[in-house]
A and B are shown apart, each in its own frame.
Chain A
Amino acid sequence: MKNQRVYFVGAGVNEDVQLIDECLRGDSGSFGLLVRKYQDRLFNTLCHVVGSREEAEDVTQEAFVQAFVKLASFQRNSAFYTWLYRIAFNTAVSRSRRKRPQRSVDAARDVLGEEPMDTTEEVTERVLREERATQVRAALEVLSEEHRAILVLREMEGLCYEEIADVLELPVGTVRSRLHRARSQMRDQLKEVLGEYQP
């Protein structure tokens, strides 16, 4: 299973700044390094936000392209990846407005199931894990876009409230309240399976 890729290899903001400077001096390979540095991280996040691997890849590519094209306008008031995420989320939102493959709550419930999953002993642990992952993804899809994005940025990306506010261009207080609502909805959706994740 392709999993747990190390996103940062000795990377830091200073390195980003250096790469950006090199890119602005004409070395597009430096931007390539930036892409490599953040591509999986961004892609993974977007996969959960947009709910489709293909769409996530498109958005990721679009975000990097926009970042490349607009790199000279990057004011460096925030970290590069924050800026990149903002581009990516804006891209995702605008794309989703064009085509809205919204999944209904009922459809999600079909995946989640109304009853506890039948975990018989013959089911392997791997299958169980995949099943749980499917349920979590389905629960994520039930959330609204803003709640889903905020939850992913916090729980999966580990961004602090301020960074989330930066990316989503929201007040920090809004981030906190939305995050709580998102969690509450997720908790309701996953009530039956959260016990599996408790120690």
Chain B
Amino acid sequence: MNENQHEFPDELISAYLDGELSPAEKVRVEEQLMDSADHRRLFEELKALRRSLQSLPAETLAEDFAARVLRRAERELLADGTPVDKSKAKEAAAKPVVVEAPPVVARPVVAERGNRRGLVWSIIATAAAVGLLTFGPLWNRPTHNVSRLNETETAPTTEGAKQQAAPAEQISSPVDDAKAKNGVELGGTPFVAPAPESATFNDHQFKESGNRSGESQSFDSAHELRMRDEAGQKAEANSIDGASRYNASARFSNGSRGPANAETAPGAVAKDRAEHERQLATAEKAAAEHDAEPSADGSPSLGKAGIGDVAQAFGGGAAGGRGALTMQTREQLQLAPSARIGVVTLDVKREALAGKFFDQLLARHDIRVELARADDEVEQLAREDRKNQITNGALADAIEVQADAGSAAGEGEGGAALRGGQDASDDLADRDDASELGSSAEAKHDAAGDEHADVDLMFVQATPEQIDALLRDLEAQQGDVVAMAFDGVGPAKKGGLDEGQPQSRVAERGRQFRALADLKQLELSEQATLAAKMAEQNAASPAVGEKPQASAAGQSPVDQVVASNIAEPQLDARASETAKSSVARRISLQSLAQAEKQLRRGGSAAATSAPIQPEPAPPAVLTEAPAEVRPTELAEEAAIEAEDAQDAPMPPLAVAPAVEGATPSAPPANQPAAPVDKLSKAKEQGLVRVLFVLRAVSPPAVEAGPAPADAAPAEPQK
């Protein structure tokens, strides 16, 4: 190299290769390359280096990467909003007077993160819908006529099935048992309504709502009843005792239930028509606009009465629940403009769906479908619409997401609202690894078999007016829509319905709220205590299958547990009953699960030595053990149900034999274990059940959220 070469920086060669030199530098480099062989060699080597790097094989990601990213991103988004929401939840817990909306939903629909908040909402709404559909009947079973009628007519379901099933069938894992209890094996259709082990808080929650309102009608049970309305009998209203109780009803998040549900239930009518007539009268009083019509077409579904019984309002405050579609809907929605969701369940003719029935209907009302899922068409959808596929991926962890949010929300209504979904998620995850499922519907499908091949899940968001009009159109679409039912869901709105209400009502809600918070705390923090106490009670229990004996103080073990753990003075009698029922169920289910687990592990020795063994000495014969465990649970629940029955007269239960029991340890033989599934009937008739999750969109003014102040990777100022 000559002297000029030493002065020449090689860096210029590199930059020349990249075309990043100024014209003057470029001329200089070109001259240097002409003169210097070393630099020419360097230049060639750099070019070869570039080729070598560019020749490396490209790595690619899996096709589902985008969906996974979206799933996780939405979780992150939820978690990201949690700190603020947590504080709101704490505030809500600290202010028991007003039942706040769930913390997450209390924020503007379009907040600082833009409209992605809407997506979060959609997840929560979907999760809530799934929770409703899964646990709806479970929550309400013990307290309501319709649920009981449902159980009665839905031949040996749950409780009955527990006893009637052959012993061999009873040897199932706790998970399987919980599955049976949840009725999930029936296609995930919640038409059978035993209490899930994990749904205690929601059990409280909804029972609370139901007890206070006198009616927490199970949406699915009601729907089933509608399906059963073949004789076109006069609508029966399973309702509350009066408007005052309705007004006092606590509508905790997704726990809102219609105050006046006109249902037709032939079996119930036959057994207790007078009682139902009375209830009908009170229901009409409670909901003036309720226009229950008898089913006239004799269809196995809703018929005219069912369709007339479509939507009322999206919940919140005194609004919500099912009932006639009236102008009240819009008014109520306007009163509670934020975060209202509702679930419309339709049985639609397959041809109508194939003809883009919903697409047309939604387009007519300018309603946007955010999520659409038809399990039996998901693959086709995924291929046809990549965006939808991705979005469905976003839905995939709806249960998981809301479960996370439910956990994070902790105290307060938000956590309570989401808890049910969390339980559902846990339950499903135990069996089918729900976290990997493509959607909540898919989760149910996996958990339940093929039933959900005929269940579509759609999520839409619309203004109250749009929803109102849509439901009216659906009502008019009787040719295609065979049956329809609506459940409104939504939290009370601060500054909305509660404001201006009599203080007594507000205070009532506050008490309910505190009661629920206390109950949740009880469940979360004192499980071990409960189990231990139950073990003690069991040790003192003289016989398997009998209702636990009263203590020296005259209390049953359940009473003692409840009394010792729920000593809040503000809990009124109904709250105590609710707690009692839930605790009893929880204890009994825990005991059952543990007993079965131990039996499966190794027989009587382990079971006997177990600290929380519910029964004194399970037999060594596996096939007999569950039969001895279950009756205890049945007896406990029956005791609770009997107490509940004192408040609301109701037809006999399917589990009546066990309750009145004679010997629960001797289950009736040869009884069908599987309940009748109405979805199957609808399926046989060529119908497709569509779960139509609606979310009311707030007025545009609400969407003007503040700009975010989040710490994001800063963009350089140019």
Q: Please report A residues at the B interface, Cβ cutoff 8 Å.
A: 1-5, 23-33, 35-36, 39-40, 43-44, 47-48, 53, 56-57, 60-61, 64-66, 68-78, 83, 86-87, 90, 129, 132-133, 136-137, 140, 151-152, 154-156, 160-161, 166, 169, 176-177, 179-180, 183-184, 186-187, 190-191, 193-198
B391 near A29 (CB under 8 angstroms)? yes
A28 near B10 (CB under 8 angstroms)? no
Cβ-based interface call for B7 (8 A): no
Cβ-based interface call for B274 (8 A): no
A179 near B14 (CB under 8 angstroms)? yes
A198 near B44 (CB under 8 angstroms)? yes
* Bound Cα distance from A160 to B55, whole angstroms: 19
A155 near B48 (CB under 8 angstroms)? no
Contacts of A57 in B (CB 8 A): 61, 65
* Bound Cα distance from A53 to B14, whole angstroms: 29
Q: Across the two chains, which residue of chain B brings its CB closest to A41?
A: B58
Given contacts A25-B115, A68-B77, contact A193 B15 (CB under 8 A): no
Chain B residues within 8 Å of chain A by Cβ, number? 63
Contacts of A3 in B (CB 8 A): 57-58
Contacts of B388 in A (CB 8 A): 29
* Bound Cα distance from A160 to B19, whole angstroms: 9
B712 near A70 (CB under 8 angstroms)? yes
* Bound Cα distance from A97 to B57, whole angstroms: 27
Cβ-based interface call for B460 (8 A): no
30 contacts between A and B (CB under 8 A): A3-B57, A23-B115, A25-B115, A26-B110, A26-B115, A28-B70, A32-B393, A33-B66, A35-B66, A35-B70, A36-B66, A36-B390, A40-B58, A60-B61, A61-B69, A69-B76, A70-B710, A71-B116, A73-B710, A76-B715, A77-B715, A77-B716, A78-B716, A83-B715, A140-B53, A154-B18, A160-B18, A177-B11, A180-B11, A198-B44
B15 near A183 (CB under 8 angstroms)? no
* Bound Cα distance from A36 to B715, whole angstroms: 23
B49 near A183 (CB under 8 angstroms)? yes
B387 near A30 (CB under 8 angstroms)? yes
* Bound Cα distance from A57 to B68, whole angstroms: 11
A35 near B69 (CB under 8 angstroms)? yes
* Bound Cα distance from A160 to B20, whole angstroms: 8
A180 near B10 (CB under 8 angstroms)? yes
* Bound Cα distance from A1 to B59, whole angstroms: 10
Which residue in A2, A39, A194 is a CB contact (below 8 Å) of B49?
A194
Interface majority SS on B: helix, strand, loop or mixed? helix
Which of A43, A53, A72, A151 has the largest number of chain B CB atoms within 10 A?
A72
Contacts of B387 in A (CB 8 A): 27, 29-30, 32-33
Q: Across the two chains, which residue of chain B brings its CB closest to A43?
A: B61
Which residue in A2, A30, A35, A47 is a CB contact (below 8 Å) of B65?
A35
Which residue in A65, A133, A166 is a CB contact (below 8 Å) of B57?
A133
Given contacts A28-B70, A33-B390, A184-B10, contact A2 B60 (CB under 8 A): yes
Interface majority SS on A: helix, strand, loop or mixed? helix
B29 to chain A, nearest CB (A): 13
* Bound Cα distance from A129 to B18, whole angstroms: 25
B14 to chain A, nearest CB (A): 4
Q: Across the two chains, which residue of chain A brings its CB closest to B716?
A: A166
Contacts of A25 in B (CB 8 A): 114-115
B73 near A69 (CB under 8 angstroms)? yes
A190 near B390 (CB under 8 angstroms)? no
B6 to chain A, nearest CB (A): 16
A72 near B56 (CB under 8 angstroms)? no
* Bound Cα distance from A92 to B112, whole angstroms: 27
Q: Across the two chains, which residue of chain B brings its CB closest to A57?
A: B61
* Bound Cα distance from A40 to B68, whole angstroms: 14
B710 near A71 (CB under 8 angstroms)? no
B56 near A65 (CB under 8 angstroms)? no
A68 near B70 (CB under 8 angstroms)? yes
* Bound Cα distance from A142 to B305, whole angstroms: 77
B401 to chain A, nearest CB (A): 13
Cβ-based interface call for B717 (8 A): yes
B11 near A132 (CB under 8 angstroms)? no
A2 near B712 (CB under 8 angstroms)? no
**Chain B 694-718 interface mask (CB, 8 Å, partner A; 1/0):** 0000000000000110101101111
Which residue in A26, A56, A70 is a CB contact (below 8 Å) of B59?
A56
Contacts of A64 in B (CB 8 A): 69, 73
* Bound Cα distance from A194 to B49, whole angstroms: 6
* Bound Cα distance from A180 to B54, whole angstroms: 17
Which residue in A78, A86, A183 is a CB contact (below 8 Å) of B46?
A183
Cβ-based interface call for B118 (8 A): yes
B11 near A176 (CB under 8 angstroms)? yes
**Interface positions of B from 1 to 42, Cβ below 8 Å from A:** 10-11, 14-15, 18, 20, 42
Contacts of A196 in B (CB 8 A): 48, 52
A152 to chain B, nearest CB (A): 8
Which residue in B20, B65, B708 is a CB contact (below 8 Å) of A161?
B20
Which residue in A53, A65, A86, A176 is a CB contact (below 8 Å) of B15?
A176
Contacts of B80 in A (CB 8 A): 69
* Bound Cα distance from A69 to B387, whole angstroms: 19
B633 to chain A, nearest CB (A): 44
B718 to chain A, nearest CB (A): 6
A169 near B112 (CB under 8 angstroms)? no
B61 near A39 (CB under 8 angstroms)? yes
* Bound Cα distance from A72 to B718, whole angstroms: 19
B386 near A33 (CB under 8 angstroms)? yes
Cβ-based interface call for B293 (8 A): no
Contacts of A83 in B (CB 8 A): 713, 715
Contacts of B67 in A (CB 8 A): 32
Contacts of A152 in B (CB 8 A): 53
Contacts of A27 in B (CB 8 A): 115, 387, 391
Which residue in B57, B61, B112, B717 is a CB contact (below 8 Å) of A77?
B717
* Bound Cα distance from A83 to B713, whole angstroms: 8
Contacts of B718 in A (CB 8 A): 77-78
Given contacts A25-B115, A29-B391, A194-B49, contact A156 B56 (CB under 8 A): yes
Leading 10 A-B pairs by shortest Cβ distance:
A26-B115, A32-B390, A24-B114, A73-B712, A29-B387, A70-B712, A68-B73, A26-B118, A197-B48, A180-B14
Q: Across the two chains, which residue of chain A brings its CB closest to B395?
A: A28
Which of A1, A61, A132, A151 has the largest number of chain B CB atoms within 10 A?
A61
B52 near A31 (CB under 8 angstroms)? no
Which of A4, A33, A36, A66 has the largest number of chain B CB atoms within 10 A?
A36
* Bound Cα distance from A120 to B118, whole angstroms: 63
Cβ-based interface call for B383 (8 A): no
Which of A87, A137, A179 has the largest number of chain B CB atoms within 10 A?
A179
Which residue in A5, A26, A140, A154 is a CB contact (below 8 Å) of B58?
A5
Contacts of B708 in A (CB 8 A): 72-73
* Bound Cα distance from A69 to B55, whole angstroms: 35
Beyond known contacts A36-B386, A198-B45: 14 more, CB 8 A cutoff: A2-B59, A24-B115, A26-B114, A32-B67, A32-B70, A32-B391, A32-B394, A43-B59, A43-B60, A61-B72, A68-B77, A77-B716, A183-B46, A190-B49
B122 to chain A, nearest CB (A): 8
B59 near A53 (CB under 8 angstroms)? yes
B483 to chain A, nearest CB (A): 32
Cβ-based interface call for B600 (8 A): no
Cβ-based interface call for B119 (8 A): yes
Contacts of B44 in A (CB 8 A): 198
A113 to chain B, nearest CB (A): 16
B155 to chain A, nearest CB (A): 44
* Bound Cα distance from A31 to B370, whole angstroms: 14
Given contacts A3-B57, A3-B58, A78-B715, contact A197 B707 (CB under 8 A): no
* Bound Cα distance from A90 to B54, whole angstroms: 24
Given contacts A33-B387, A65-B69, A187-B45, contact A71 B114 (CB under 8 A): yes
A28 near B52 (CB under 8 angstroms)? no
B496 to chain A, nearest CB (A): 24
Contacts of A136 in B (CB 8 A): 52-53, 55-56
Given contacts A77-B715, A166-B716, contact A31 B70 (CB under 8 A): yes
Cβ-based interface call for B113 (8 A): yes
